Each structure stands twice: as C-alpha cells, then as structure tokens.
C-alpha cells in the first residue's frame, strides 16, 4: 500500500462529532510522547501533518487525516500523562474511551509502546481493557532507532514474554522508527489488507 495523498480532515472531542464522511479508520494510541503523531507523519511522508512535540501531552483532540481519499488515520491523545489536572486527565480518558467504543468505522487500533523500556503497567491495563471490550488491536514498538538491532529484538522478546502471561495469542506486532522510516512498509501493507 502506498500513500499518495494525506490531508487533515478535522478535529473532534467525541466520536459523534468526527468527520461526517464514513470511511474505514485506523487509529493510533499509546502513552503520551510515545511517538503517535511522529509515526503518522512518517507513514504519510509529511513531517508537518500531525503536530509533534518533545513535551508530552501535545495531542489533545481526536485528529482525522484522510488518506488517498479512501480511509482515515486517526491521531488520538496519549494516556498516562501525569502533569495535568485530574479533571483534564479524566476528560482525556473519556475522550479516548468514547472514540474507541463508539467509532463503528474503526477497523483497528494500533497501540504504540516505547521500545526502550519494558512494556509498562499502564499499557498492559489499557490492552486488557481492549480485550474485555473485544477491540481489535496491533502493537507497534516505537523509537527503534534509539536501540541497536539486537537490543531491539531482545526488548521485543521480553515484551512478548510479559504479554504472554496474560494472552494466549499475541496480537500482530511491528517495530518502527519515525527517524529512519523503519516499519513503514510493513505497517502500510498490514493496513492495506483491510481496505
């Protein structure tokens, strides 16, 4: 699958107010600062499409990008960002849950995990919630350029072992780097199977 056109299609705070044109959606979620917006830009070959920041908590809305006029990539706010008020955190949590549970067009959710550390408790809790709600998902290990190839492989194996304690069958998994473009073809080909 090749992306020939990627355009911003709108921001929303609830699934009910997302762009009215219904098309298949592939959404990106994960801890704040894990690299969701950067990965979307890398996949689209446009570093200015989704706003990124070295400070966590950059994406605060549900952002739809229309791809090849046929499907959407959806950039979601991150979870687990500590430095905001309790009220704001609860608001973001509700926004994320509402989108995930009420978006009939969402085909698949990519859960991004930082490849530099063991998968964290908050990620495991989030993934458990997906299982309970029957939400199809895949995992992408981000920032792969920050580790050597062997260290990256070892980390993914470690995370697989952690996930296997809870899951009989593991989800599809990818490693990516917004810096080098690693993972681009695999992720886009995977999406291509659905549309």
The pair of three-digit structure tokens given for residue 192, joined into one six-digit string: 């291509």
Instruction: State which of residues 7, 22, 146, 158 lies at the interface with ligand GTP (CB under 6 A).
Output: 146
- Residue 26: beta bridge partners? 73, 108
Q: Return d(Cα 176, Cα 146) in angstroms, integer.
A: 11
Lay out the site mask for ligand GTP across 48-87 (x = CB under 6 A, - = otherwise): ----xxx-xxxx-----------------xx---------
Of 26, 32, 44, 155, the residue at the interface with ligand GTP (CB under 6 A) is 32
Nearer to ligand GTP, 21 or 30 (CB): 30
Q: Does 88 bind ligand GTP (CB under 6 A)?
A: no
Asked if 145 is part of the footprint of ligand GTP (rule: CB under 6 A), the reply reads: yes
Tally of CA atoms within 13 A in the half-sphere of 117 that contains its CB: 10
Residue in this structure with the two tokens 């706010």, named with its chain if needed: 77
User: With binding defined as CB under 6 A, does residue 95 bind ligand GTP?
Assistant: no
Residue, CB closest to ligand GTP: 78
**HSE, side-chain direction, 13 A CA sphere, residue 31:** 19
Q: Which two tokens stand for residue 36?
A: 């969701």
Residue 38 C-beta: closest distance to Mg ion, Å: 8
CB of 95 to ligand GTP, least distance (A): 12
**DSSP state string for 39-89:** HHHHHHT-TTSS---SSS----SEEEEEETTTEEEEEPPPB---SS-HHHH
Among 63, 103, 142, 155, contact with ligand GTP (rule: CB under 6 A): 142
Residue 191, φ and ψ in degrees, nearest 5 = -60, -40
35 binds ligand GTP (CB under 6 A): yes
Query: Which residue, judged by CB position, is nearest to Mg ion in the bound state?
Result: 59
Q: Where do contacts with ligand GTP occur on this chain (CB under 6 A)?
A: 32-38, 52-54, 56-59, 77-78, 142-143, 145-146, 177-179
């Amino acid at each position: 699958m090749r992306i020939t056109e990627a355009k911003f299609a709108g921001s929303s705070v609830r699934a009910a107010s997302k762009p009215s044109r219904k098309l298949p959606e592939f959404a990106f979620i994960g801890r704040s600062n894990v690299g969701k917006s950067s990965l979307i830009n890398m996949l689209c070959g446009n570093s200015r499409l989704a706003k990124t920041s070295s400070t966590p908590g950059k994406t605060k809305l549900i952002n739809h990008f229309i791809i090849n006029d046929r499907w959407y990539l959806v950039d979601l706010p991150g979870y687990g960002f500590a430095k905001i008020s309790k009220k704001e955190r609860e608001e973001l949590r509700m926004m994320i849950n509402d989108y995930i549970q009420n978006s009939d067009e969402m085909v698949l959710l990519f859960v991004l995990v930082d490849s530099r550390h063991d998968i964290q408790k908050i990620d495991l809790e989030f993934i458990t919630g997906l299982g309970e709600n029957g939400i199809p998902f895949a995992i992408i290990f981000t920032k792969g350029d920050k580790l050597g190839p062997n260290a990256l492989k070892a980390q993914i194996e470690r995370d697989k072992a952690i996930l296997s304690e809870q899951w009989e069958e593991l989800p599809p998994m990818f490693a990516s780097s917004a810096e080098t473009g690693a993972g681009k073809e695999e992720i886009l080909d995977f999406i291509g199977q659905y549309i």
